[in-house]
Structure 1
Amino acid sequence: MNVVCLDLEGVLVPEIWIAFAKASGISELERTTRDEPDYDKLMNFRLDILREHGLGLAEIQDVIATIDPMEGAREFLDALREKTQVIIISDTFEQFAQPLMHKLGWPTIFCNSLEVGEDGAITGYKMRCDQTKLTTVRALQSCGMETIAAGDSYNDLGMIRASKAGWLFKGAPSTKAENPDVPTLEEYDELLAAIESAL
């Protein structure tokens, strides 16, 4: 049985932290996994900036409420889910993901969780497991599933390379240049056709 594993941000929806950086005027928060492969280092950097500016979960959720899926993403996901099982595997957090899942038609998502104080300050975060995307793909494979994967960043490369087929989708030029062995696609119709061929 096949299951398609997709990244969320940069693939189906815009990058949440970039949107928040623009809304808040804090340009340092525009750094994503496209820029920093070490997720723990990136998140601690983000949390330090939030503390410095007195910003918490509510302010980020207000911005997330204004984010819509990328053009064509909902249609792509609906068409794909008619053909096979799909799981979104993201390093985002359940407190961020819910309104976006509503706009995408409630697909299944595996993501992480934030630790939030009573005052709404984000005090930390909890990853589901180590190397969340690669570990999840390997767990699915251990259950007899064949995985197909697509993502846009450094933290997607493990699940892409471990799957029977995979692509960098709308990847950053630097990520594509540094990983010439990974095929790249830019449009949803291309990705849908490639997945159909791999099923």
Structure 2
Amino acid sequence: MNIICSDLEGVFIPEIWINVAKKTGIEDLKLTTRDISDYDVLMQKRLSVMAAHGLKLKDITDVIATMDPIEGAFETLNWIREKYQIIILSDTFEEFARPLMKKLNYPALLCHSLTIAPDGSISDYNLRQASQKKKAIQAFKSLNYRTIAFGDSYNDTAMLKAADHGFLFCPPDNVIKEFPELAVTRNYDELKAKLTELLE
């Protein structure tokens, strides 16, 4: 039995924080897991920037409401789901993901959550589990699944290395350079070809 695990942002949907940065003009919010490998450092910076600018959850969700999946993502995800089992493992948050999951026809998603203060500001973030992507792969392997994983960022690399077969999808050059052992796919056609090669 095979199971596929994938990242979400940069794979099937655009980077949420980059879109927030563009809409608000706050450059510091453009940083993502493609730039900073330590997730806690990244999130503490985001929370600090949001507090300094008075941004609240609604400011973020208003931006998310205007976003659509990456062109071809819906069709590609449907292609995968018709053939294989896929679980999306993301370091996004339930409060952010819901409207975008609707646009992707509600694939299975494991992610984190936020603590929202009474005034609507985001006061903290709550990891479902530390290193959750890697640990999910390990858990599926313990259930005798053969695991295939793909993603684009630093926070995906532990998952990719833990999987029976892991590869990058549309990664930035810095990630490719630091992880030359990982194969690279650069579009959905290459992604489907790689999955077909591994699974059929």
- Please report the TM-score for the alignment, with normalisation by the length of structure 1: 0.98
1:141 aligns with 2:141: yes
Deviation string 1:56-105 (CA, Å, 9 cap, x unpaired) is: 10000000011111111110000010111010000000000001100011
Alpha-carbon distance in structure 2 between the residues aligned to 1:121 and 1:87: 30
Deviation string 1:81-138 (CA, Å, 9 cap, x unpaired) is: 0111010000000000001100011100000000101111100011111111101111
Instruction: Give the alignment of 1:43-192 within 5 angstroms.
Output: 43-192=43-192
The letter for the 1-side match of 2:190 is: E
Query: What RMSD, in angstroms, separates the aligned Cα atoms of the two structures?
Result: 0.7
Structure 2: which 5+ residue stretches go unaligned? none
Alpha-carbon distance in structure 2 between the residues aligned to 1:10 and 1:192: 16
141-150 vs 19-28, which moves further: 141-150
Q: How far does residue 143 in structure 1 lie from its aligned partner after superposition?
A: 1.3
% of aligned pairs identical? Answer: 49
Q: How far does residue 19 in structure 1 lie from its aligned partner after superposition?
A: 0.2
Alpha-carbon distance in structure 1 between the residues aligned to 2:41 and 2:159: 21
Match of 2:20 in 1: 20
Alpha-carbon distance in structure 1 between the residues aligned to 2:29 and 2:53: 12
Alpha-carbon distance in structure 2 between the residues aligned to 1:177 and 1:188: 22
- Write out the 4+ residue segments of structure 1 that deviate beyond 6 Å after TM superposition: none
Match of 1:40 in 2: 40
Q: How far does residue 7 in structure 1 lie from its aligned partner after superposition?
A: 0.2
85-94 vs 131-140, which moves further: 131-140
Alpha-carbon distance in structure 2 between the residues aligned to 1:116 and 1:196: 42
Q: How far does residue 177 in structure 1 lie from its aligned partner after superposition?
A: 1.1
The letter for the 2-side match of 1:38 is: D
**SS of the residue 1:82 aligns to:** helix
Q: How far does residue 15 in structure 1 lie from its aligned partner after superposition?
A: 0.2
Q: How far does residue 184 in structure 1 lie from its aligned partner after superposition?
A: 0.4
**SS of the residue 2:91 aligns to:** strand
163-172 vs 21-30, which moves further: 163-172
**SS of the residue 1:113 aligns to:** strand
The letter for the 2-side match of 1:165 is: H
Structure 1: which 5+ residue stretches go unaligned? none
The letter for the 2-side match of 1:83 is: K
Matched positions, count: 199
**SS of the residue 1:198 aligns to:** helix
The letter for the 2-side match of 1:79 is: W
116-125 vs 189-198, which moves further: 189-198
The letter for the 1-side match of 2:187 is: E
